[in-house]
Amino acid sequence: MAGNLVNVTDASFEQEVEQHAGVAVVDFWATWCGPCRMIAPLLEQLSTEYAGKVKVTKLDVDANQKTSMRFGVRSIPTLLFFKDGKVVDQVIGAVPKAALDAKFKQHTA
């Protein structure tokens, strides 16, 4: 995984996301998911553009079902935006970079 993306698991989720001070984005994805692969490079770009402002993480839903179920993730890709450990927003499905960028801006303003 290149750039500033961090892979998280059921075991590391609390430490990496819920205890993170500031904004964290979790990409709930799977290797077989075409739309997930479409937004992956966009998230990588945004993780670099917002380095130091937003922590961008990826959680494989197949390997980490406990966390996916806990947050009610039923379709992927789902992006959950956390601020100081609390869910503040979500994006479901593959959306254009401009839409993702707007969400990142909204939560870092």
Determine the Cα–Cα distance for residues 98 and 104; give it in Å rounded to an integer.
Answer: 10
Residues designated catalytic: 33, 36
Q: List alpha helices for 1-64, DSSP H.
A: 13, 34-49
CB atoms within 10 A of CB 73: 20
Determine the Cα–Cα distance for residues 42 and 28; give it in Å rounded to an integer.
Answer: 14
Determine the Cα–Cα distance for residues 17 and 32; give it in Å rounded to an integer.
Answer: 24
